[in-house]
Amino acid sequence: MMRKLAAGAFTIIAVLGTGLTTQATANATAQTTRWLCGANTVDVRYTEGGAPTGRLVYYGQTVEHDSGGGTWWHITSPYVGYVLGQYFC
């Protein structure tokens, strides 16, 4: 009886884990990697055009962004915030 319960619990966990992995993979594929090529440094901002966070992205450093094709890009790596997209290749 205990083996059947343990096997059933394992199956449920495996199915839930597969769903979570699929969701994480789907979100990761929406990221785009770009590198800073048009300036020596770029300020990371809290909001589009808002106050600087004090973080800088340096020439040659890469960022992961999940939205933006316009002026301001929302980045998720190496920091979270907004940068001017025009400086990235």
- pLDDT tens track for 18-32: 444 444 444 444 788
Mean pLDDT of 39-47: 96
* pLDDT tens readout for residues 1-15: 555 544 554 444 444
CATH match of 32-87 with 3.40.47.10 = no
Among candidate residues 78, 64, 70, 76, the one with its CA nearest the CA of residue 49: 70
Q: Is the pLDDT of residue 63 over 80?
A: yes
- Report the C-alpha gap between 62 and 88 in whole angstroms: 9
Residue ranges of the domains in the chain?
Answer: 1-30, 32-87
